[in-house]
Amino acid sequence: MTPTPPVNDALAGLGRGRCLIIGEVALTHDGSLGLAHAFIDAIASAGADAVKFQTHIAAAESTPSEPFRVPFSRQDSTRYAYWKRMEFAEDQWRGLAEHCRQRQVLFVSSPFSLEAVELLRRVGQPLWKIASGETGNTTLLDRILDDGAPVLLSTGMSPLAEIDAAVARVKARGVPVGVFQTTTAYPCPAEKVGLNLIPFYRERYGCWVGLSDHSATIYPGLAGAAIGMDLLEVHVALSREMFGPDVVASVTTAELKQLVDGVRFIARMRASPLDKDASAAETASLRQIFTRSIVAREALPAGTVLTRDHLVLKKPGTGLPPSRVEEIVGRRLARAVSADQLLSADDIEGLSAS
């Protein structure tokens, strides 16, 4: 299916100064289709470019012996059971994708099996996001590359050699690629965000680069925008009282709105270098109001030899500027002046107008 023009614009802006912002639902919908749709509305309303899910098919990716990353569930005896409860039917995925198109955001879901790849291929999505644990899964990656759609790689559990190999594999197929700096920590402390790796990846791979952030704050995203990253992914929760293992590493939808606004503001700043002299010229009228002039402290007769005690600096800045005080001290008044009178060159013997 062809996305609406605003969605196309979101992809077209990649690498051209516009950061693609992805709101990551992951499995925080907790298996509720209604909640998944509520996330789409909330993330779209916050101004993000994409809503991302995860597509798990329990029988295709897991065994009953798979351990929980964290023991959080009171209703799933195994991680396999949890994956099973998170599954949506294909027509339900189609509905989520259509809802995204209606809200003019990208629908994206990370596949965790070949079966999930085929399901998402049938549903349709404009790009592929590879989760950290799948970056070295060449079988899954090769199947995805058959589509030719852009591939975004998370790197949370990957050493450089694995990232090198994955990027090379994508580029060898002529497919556009992006690399996320990712630290697999929930929540991720500031010391482990790895902001330094964003320019490092850009130089190393010559591709889109960004941050998949698990800090549960807006700060890394804003910092990444300030250094010109192309991609930002953040986990999102409708509130921090929600259930699920990713909530602790999520921003709220209100914080997402603030983050989106901040990233866009930073992009406009970066795209608009300022000429300081031209900027100052635009404030000429204000400058006269806010700057100061050399003023007579008291009434002085003609012929007075001016000292510093005779002078004071006061607003407005329409008279002689403070920078000329040294020129005036020691000169004689050509005519009498009153207290608080802004001095002019004509008031002082031998003083040039400029």
CATH code for position 330: 3.90.1210.10
- Same domain, residue pair 298 and 246: no
- Same domain, residue pair 144 and 13: yes
Tally of CB atoms within 10 A around 40: 22
The mean per-residue pLDDT over the stretch 190-211 comes to 98
342 DSSP β-pair partners: 295
pTM of this structure: 0.88
- Same domain, residue pair 230 and 293: no
Task: List phi, psi (to 5°) of 203.
Answer: -70, -40
Say if residue 279 is exposed, middle or buried (CB neighbours under 10 Å; 0-12, 13-18, 19+).
exposed
CA distance 199 to 132: 19
Question: What range defines the domain where residue 293 resides?
Answer: 278-347
On whether residue 162 sits in a domain, the answer given is yes
- Same domain, residue pair 151 and 179: yes
- Same domain, residue pair 204 and 282: no
The mean per-residue pLDDT over the stretch 148-165 comes to 97
Task: State residue 72's pLDDT score.
Answer: 73
On whether residue 319 sits in a domain, the answer given is yes
**The last residue of a domain, from among 240, 270, 300:** 270
**Residue 225 is which amino acid?**
A
Task: State residue 228's pLDDT score.
Answer: 97
- CATH code for the domain of 72: 3.20.20.70
- Same domain, residue pair 168 and 34: yes
HSE, side-chain direction, 13 A CA sphere, residue 336 = 3
Rg of the chain, C-alpha, whole Å: 31
CA distance 174 to 162: 19
The 10s digit of each residue's pLDDT in 11-35 is 888 888 899 999 999 999 999 999 9
What is the total count of domains within the chain? 2
CA distance 159 to 186: 19
Average pLDDT, the chain: 94
Return the residue matching tokens 């509905």: 95
Q: Which segments of 206-278 are extended strands (E)?
A: 208-213, 231-237, 251-252
Q: Which segments of the chain are extended strands (E)?
A: 20-26, 50-55, 106-111, 128-130, 151-154, 177-182, 208-213, 231-237, 251-252, 293-296, 311-314
- Same domain, residue pair 152 and 187: yes
For residue 67, pLDDT over 80 is answered with no
- The better pLDDT of the pair 9, 327 is held by 327
Task: State residue 64's pLDDT score.
Answer: 82
